[in-house]
Structure formats: structure tokens, C-alpha cells
Amino acid sequence: MSVLDNVDAATNLAKNNELQLLVFRVSEKEDSAYYAINVFKTREVVEAKNHFLTQIPSAHPLLEGTIILRGLQIPILNLPQWLGVHLTKEEVQCSNILICDFNGIIIGLRIMSAYRVIKKNWNEMHAPDSYRLKEDGVVINDTRLEDGSLCLILDYEKLLADVIPQALVDVDKDVALLHELDIPHKLKTATVLIAEDSKTAQRHLIRLFEKAHIPMRLFDNGKKLMDFISSFGEDAQNKISAIITDIEMPEMSGFTVVKLLKTNPWTNNIPVIVNSSMTGDNNKREAEVLGADGFIDKTKSHNVIPLIIEAMKKYGEE
């Protein structure tokens, strides 16, 4: 049975502030690290030796080539090399490919072996400031396995930005469209609050709002965002123009953020937009049920400002 079988629905987990992680290794050496990825960003694990790799001339060094799987041409990224691990020819032959879906972008990550699926509460996910000190840091947060081993969660959006940047947001190209928008007075004067733990996604959003001349403030996770909002009390609606939240974050998931905001009379009339790479219909439905005013996938986050404006009209902000 595959390690990806019998997985609970992503939305049921997220609304309980939980997630499921596929734990894997990129080396079989005894002291090699454990890594993990959200199960709902994965499709399957296949043996590398069963799939012919077609190389791409002049490609990024980490882009090994492409394979054909179920009629799709899938780029294969050398995850071990990104992490500073160099596999021998024999190891490559024994390796596996983890097929992932990021916002509808299907890629394969070379790994050595899939270990197993674990369930965690978001408050068991830790994001020490040390991960954020280095501009080129690749770890976004961590957790512990049952035996106490450290398990690292990587910034997969940074990997995509490094190797396939054309798959992500083109802020410069899309900011031009903002000049055609009629931006409400409150959006120019109050502050947009954003909960997002990926430094890559943070950089895109910072540039977007700076170029649109819209005040914004970033938080590394949902708990920090909620702590800040609670400091405003009933004045929150005057100070905050909109809130953008990711779903997957340490300490508090985005679904929990939406639920808390929309059940609090001081914040329930503030537009809340979910900005996530978990773009399945169930997640969109759950966000809507909890009261979110919009849902956008991270590769299209340049559309978030028109979405905020549309939501503000619903609350009488023209």
C-alpha cells in the first residue's frame, strides 16, 4: 500500500488546525535529515528507474529534465542538490520521484525514499527566527517525529522561484493593471494585514502593495496576526482595510484565522482573502463556509487587490 493511501480530507484537517505531512529523505546516509511536505500538495511517488529523463538544453542546473507520466510532461527538480546533497549514480538509480502539485503546476522532486505520513497540529509546527535570518534559507518550519527526530519543512515556493520563476507571479507586469482600478479611500489610508510564512510569497506581496501605494503589514503566521488584531479591540474595523491569509502556517492555520475573524463582531466586516497554494475545491468551499470573502492561488496573487476592492464594496466601502 502506498504511503499516500488512506489520507484524510485536507479541509477537515485544516479547520481543526491540523495537517498531514509526507515525511521523506533525500539521502540514505544514517545521519541524513528528515523532510516533509503537505500531503495535499503531493500526487504520487514513482521509482526514478522506470521513467526516461529527457534533458532540456540550457536549463537551470537544478532542472534535471522532464519525464512523461500519464500523458503529462513533468519537470524534475533535483531537490537533494538544492539541499547540498550530491547523489552518486547508483543512488540516482535507486531514487524516487515525488510528484507534486503547486497551484496547478505539476513538478517532480527527486527524493531517495518516502518514509510515512504523519498528522500534526499546527501548534506543533515551529518556525524559529533563525530560519528567517538568511536570505537564502530553504527551511520554513519544523516539527518532531515520535522518536524525537527533527523533521524539516522546506520553502517549496522558493525552490520554484529559483528554478522555474516563470511559473510564479510577475509583479512588474501585473502592477500596470492596477492603475486602471478605482482604489477606495480606506484601502489607501488604513492597513492591509497579511499572514504568510513563505519569504518568497512575502516578497511578491510586499512589492505588489508597495507599487500600488497601499499600506500593508506582514506577519509570519496566523497567531501573530490575530494577536496584533486583538490589540485594536473594537477599533479594528477603522484601522484595517483588509486581511490576507495563507492556509498553511505554523501555530495557527488560515482556516482558524478566518473562523476567528468572522465570528468576532469587531472584525466580521473586514474583507478576508485566502491566498494559498492549496487550491482544491474543498479548500475553496471551506473558506467560503467560514466566511472568507475571496480565495486566490499564489501564482495569481497579483489579482488580490481587485479582489479586495470587490469585497470592500460588499461592506459599503467605495
* Lowest-pLDDT choice from 56-60, 63-67, 193-197, 256-260: 56-60
Q: Which residue has the higher pLDDT, 284 or 227?
A: 227
Tell me the pLDDT of the chain averaged across its residues. Answer: 85
* Residue 72: partners with Cβ closer than 8 Å, 6 or more residues away: 106
Question: Which ranges in the chain are annotated with CATH 3.40.50.2300?
Answer: 169-314
Across the range 246-266, mean pLDDT stands at 89
| R_g of the chain, CA atoms, integer Å | 20
> What is each CA distance from 255 to 74, 127, 237, 240, in whole angstroms?
31, 19, 20, 19
CATH superfamily of 10-166: CheA-289, Domain 4 (2.40.50.180)
**DSSP track, 162-179:** HH-GGGS--HHHHHGGGG
In this prediction, residue 7 carries a pLDDT of 43
> What gap in Å lies between CA 66 and CA 27, rounded to an integer?
22
* Per-residue model confidence as pLDDT tens digits over 184-239: 899 999 999 999 988 878 888 888 898 888 999 999 889 999 999 999 988 999 99
pLDDT band at 4 (very low <50, low <70, confident <90, very high): very low
pLDDT band at 122 (very low <50, low <70, confident <90, very high): confident
Highest mean pLDDT among 73-77, 101-105, 281-285: 73-77
**Which residue, among 101, 80, 98, 137, has the nearest Cα to 4 in the 3D structure?**
98
pLDDT over 90 at 80, yes or no = yes
pLDDT band at 9 (very low <50, low <70, confident <90, very high): low
Please state the pTM of the whole predicted model: 0.74
pLDDT over 90 at 178, yes or no = no
Multiple choice CATH, 169-314, 2.60.40.10, 3.40.50.300, 3.40.50.2300, 3.40.50.720: 3.40.50.2300
In this prediction, residue 176 carries a pLDDT of 60
Question: Which ranges in the chain are annotated with CATH 2.40.50.180?
Answer: 10-166
Across the range 98-107, mean pLDDT stands at 85
pLDDT over 80 at 15, yes or no = no
Q: How many CA atoms lie within 13 A of 211 on its CB side?
A: 18
Q: Which residue has the higher pLDDT, 12 or 10?
A: 12
Across the range 269-297, mean pLDDT stands at 83
Q: What percent of the chain has pLDDT over 70?
A: 85
* Per-residue model confidence as pLDDT tens digits over 127-138: 777 776 666 778
